[in-house]
Amino acid sequence: MKADNRREFLKKSLLGISGVALVPGSLKLNIAKPLLETATSELPVRLLGKSGLKTPLISMGTSDATSSGLIRSAYESGIKLFFSATYYGEGNNEKLVGEGLKGLPRDSFIIGTAVPPDGMDMKTGTFPNGFDANAYIKKAEGSLKRFGLDYVDVFLFPYAGKKETVLNEGVLKALAQLKKQGKTRFLGIASHSDTEEALKAAADSGVYDIAMPAYNFKAKNKESMNAAIAYAVKTGMGIVAMKTTAGGARDKSGTPLNISAALKWVLQNENVSSIVSGMSSFEQLQNNIALMNNLKMTEQELKDLNITGQLSEPGLYCHQCKKCVPDCPHNLDIPTMMRSYMYAYGYKNIKQAWHTMAEVKYSNQCDNCKICTVNCTASFDIRNKIKDITRLKDVPADLIQA
């Protein structure tokens, strides 16, 4: 197949993933709107643990943002806490956030970012070959340059799960040095899996100020998760919840989920200081602003969530329990692939899905199994989901970044 024909084939193939035609400019928003007329700085706030920071109930997750104008509008509307990560657009998202907040008084906004460590085994959440503290510090310093800032307010260590990783001597050394040098004010973890273990370890360490756990209405272990969050808060940690919409849609076709109800459910837990909500449009921003002023859940919203019923639906949200990994004869990193699937079909974020899949080693191993032996606790059709989302590995980086 000729190169031009292959690229065209790959573009058409992506039409079947999240419903987005990935052609130049297709992921960019037409930012022609003025700043929100309802801008206000008087939004409900909660204290973010021992950090002393007061943050609005909803903070901005910037991974889906494609315009510095949207970042600025969020700020003008009262949003003061912004979270990015080095793996959002290969660092370009940090640049976007920096542009959106450029020229504003530095003490008028709070920026957090996450820098993933090199050499982590994503299946186990550990460092089989050790952790290079100096390399990690250099990687973190790159974030500051992209933001155009001397420091970030919150520095998160992502993919934290296992106690041995959260308390890794090299990790703690690197984080302590970043704080001592004034390159961050506060330290934290972000956890997709083994979250309860991570929360307790971080709380017991006395080093971490903030935790960003995956927390939503579809959690199967609500009581123990609530207890872990309460334990962390009692030690002074501030909690910022992520993955709060449990995939953003009910299924691959995009059957809508009541997003406002899902966010309100999380905020009923007063130990959660703030939600990091991904925003890619002015409409989402306006909805979140309105939601913060009325957290009471209506009967219809409770019905829409139908928590017991939702748990019986496969949906798009992978609990990252990792119970599937031992079942796979090829030892595939199924949790990471399922997270990529959620980004693609639930959040409609092809770029994030592609970057997540780039971490996974896969060479069509599923073709070697006549019957899938993996038993998913969420009732996912693992084999078909894998064969679907791994199409992204054939897409070249320059086409994704177009």
31-40, 170-179, 235-244, 339-348: which range is least confident on average? 31-40
Mean pLDDT confidence for 23-28: 38
Provide, for the chain, the percentages of residues in helix, strand and coil under a 3-state DSSP scheme, each rounded to the nearest 5. 45, 15, 45
Q: Which residue in the block uniquely carries the two structure tokens 């009923």?
A: 268
Question: Which of the 8 DSSP states describes residue 192?
Answer: S
Q: What is the DSSP letter of 39?
A: -
Find where tokens 């260590």 sit.
157
Residue 245 predicted with pLDDT over 60: yes
Q: Quote the pLDDT of residue 23.
A: 38
pLDDT (0 to 100) of residue 397: 77
Per-residue pLDDT at 21 exceeds 50: no
Radius of gyration of the chain, Cα coordinates, nearest whole angstrom:
20
Q: Give residue 37's pLDDT.
A: 42
Domain boundaries, the chain: 3-21+318-400, 45-305
Smallest CA-to-CA distance from 232 within 191, 201, 269 is with: 201
The pLDDT > 90 percentage for the chain reads 48
CB 80 within 8 A of CB 108: yes
360-387 tens-digit pLDDT: 888 888 988 888 999 898 888 999 899 8
pLDDT tens-digit profile of 292-321?
Answer: 988 999 888 888 887 545 545 677 888 888
Taking Cα atoms as reference points, which of 45, 7, 62 lies closest to residue 267?
Answer: 45
Q: Which pLDDT score, from 0 to 100, does residue 343 have?
A: 84
pLDDT at 12: 56
Q: Higher pLDDT residue, 249 or 320?
A: 320
What is the assigned CATH class of domain 45-305?
Answer: alpha beta
The mean pLDDT value for 201-211 works out to 96
Residue 52's pLDDT band (boundaries 50, 70, 90)? very high
Flag whether pLDDT at 9 surpasses 80: no
Identify the band that residue 256 occupies on the pLDDT scale cut at 50, 70 and 90: confident
> pTM of the predicted model, to two decimals?
0.82
Q: Across-strand partners of 54?
A: 47
155 bridge partner residues: 113, 187
Closest CA to 216 of 256, 275, 160: 275
**347 pLDDT tier (thresholds 50, 70, 90):** confident
**What does the alpha-carbon distance between residue 311 and residue 400 come to, in Å, rounded to a whole number?**
34
The structure tokens listed for 159 are 């993919």
| Residue 79 near residue 59, CB atoms below 8 Å | yes
Q: What is the pLDDT of residue 3?
A: 56
Q: How many residues does the chain have?
A: 402
- Between the CA of residue 351 and those of 18, 27, 85, 94, 348, what are the distances in Å? 11, 9, 13, 15, 9
Helix 92-101 to helix 133-147 angle, to the nearest 10 degrees? 40
Q: Which SS3 state, helix, strand or coil, does residue 217 take?
A: coil
Q: Which residues pair with 256 in a beta bridge?
A: 249
